[in-house]
Structure 1
Amino acid sequence: MRECPKCRTKEYTNRSMVMMINDCGHPLCRNCVESLFARNSGPCPQCGKILWKKGFWEQIFDNPIIEKENSIRRRLRKIYNLKRENFATAREYNDYLERIETMVMNLAHEIDVEETEAEISRFKSENSELVERNKKKASFHEHLDEDQIWIREMLEEERLTKQRTLERMRTEASSQKPAVGTSARAIINELKDSDLPAEVILDRQRKKLIEAELAEKEETARLKKRKFEAQKQTASFVSLGVAGAPFVYHAPELPLNGPPLPEMETLSQKGYLQHIRTVSLGRLAGGFTAETGCMRALFESRIDLFDF
């Protein structure tokens, strides 16, 4: 249960209490923060470090060390933002990451704080240009990792390829599209200048119109086919459909009960009665046979295999 170290207020007595925490890692309730830091700055009641009121944030984790560690990681991430390509070997990059974890641990548990802060300042001054360049790159890519950046580039390339294909097909369609319909002025001029009957001229123009419509339909079908083939050849990140017969489930036939028992009529033929004691006449008269005892023995020998 959370408790304010200053006013000793607990969540049990005040359900609306909100705990705040700063870089030093010592939590305070919101009421104490408002009263102690009324002038926007003041010392921490526990460690005496000068804190700013705007530096407090709401505590999420119950352990203040975790909150302090997260704050340190956010601060170091702005400085130690080098990527794998900034190192010659993977070993150097791994040592770099391991050193970051060591510094986080030192600052969180206040171990060699001055030496660690001096190392951070030295790294920031020696790699200022590289850090600034990676910071601009990170802001441009909205803090995406390498895989997300690669996926975004591939999607953009796919979009541009589809766009160029559609534009090319649209241009070809507009340049090769036949003139549908016949100008009424051309028909009137032909009727005026020609000696042929009007029915013949109209039939000829009607045939030209039908041929133009058929050619347009063939061209449209050809463009659709080309578009479909282009879409199949274009890379896509969607899951591909698997062609073939649909899957049909067949329940496996497992011999859970072991091999089948022989029939009672075949026990003598298969030699099962060789070691069975001969039944006396009294028991035989009561209906008990050697096959009955043999089947009972076979059944008991594999009773643990049966799946009831």
Structure 2
Amino acid sequence: MCRYSDPLVLMQVTVFSCGGFVLGVSFNHAIADGVGMCQFLQAVGEFSRGLPSPSVLPVRQEDSISLGVPPAIAKILQFLGTIRPSQMALLDITVKQSLINGIKYKYTSMNSGRTCTVFEAVAAVLWRCRTRAIMSMSKSKCNPEAVTALILPTNARKYAGAKEGYYGNCLLVELVTATTGMVANSDLVDIVKMIQDAKDRVLPDQADIDELLQVEPEEDWYNILVAQCWRNIGLEALDFGAGRPARVMKYYRGMTWLPECTACIPCSNDLHAYNVLSVCVKDHHSRAFLQELADAHLLFKPSPL
């Protein structure tokens, strides 16, 4: 949530007869991002376990960060604000460890030992599978030269000079643009390289922004994919007195502003797969998307990594 009328924080605890419970939390993105909200929940857990004060003290003074919102990011956010929500299929999928390891091994061998992260590999898989699924189901309408964009929300605290304990919204938007034909026909390691190049730039290139702004919000916005990672913000380590959570997941409503995947959410019951909650395709593309994902898992045998 990020509208002015939305509550700052809402929390609900549902307790089951077995003794387990589910904690549901929603918060207004105007005051905090995922890292900040995790810090808040960590403090709630510490108080619930009897600690006298949180281990990380909250910081929110005006000088908590040394940089404001870069003009390039403001321009992208303004553009995204013109997009209206639409119905998407909710899919609970997994990307297997063997596929991730295969991509990482091949990428390292082809790039002089440089490594890639799990999220970069997963994002490459999701972007290509989704693009191929849409193209295969829309051959008469899909233009291989159409612009497609991958948007990666990124924690910007180290770039903005944020003080320890700063919990406000401190996100950058990293942007990867290409043609649909390029994404659909590229090797996965080449897509990983595109993602890493965008991350290395920190801020989007003006050329990428210009390409994104060519997208017509009411028609071609479906070519945009947001991929976000919850793997390294600490949600899996929260403890409210009953130990760490069995699963951390995002709640999606029926409508979403942009096609989106929340990737690499830790699951304690499967150490050989990374869970992904997806609202990135419409219902009539969901079967083709799942088939593309299944085909991708056949590309690599389990690797020693």
Same fold (TM over 0.5): no
Q: Which has the higher helix share?
A: 1
Structure index of larger Rg: 1
| Relative contact order, higher structure (CA 8 A, sep 6+) | 2
Q: Which has the higher strand share?
A: 2
Q: TM-score range by the shorter chain?
A: under 0.3
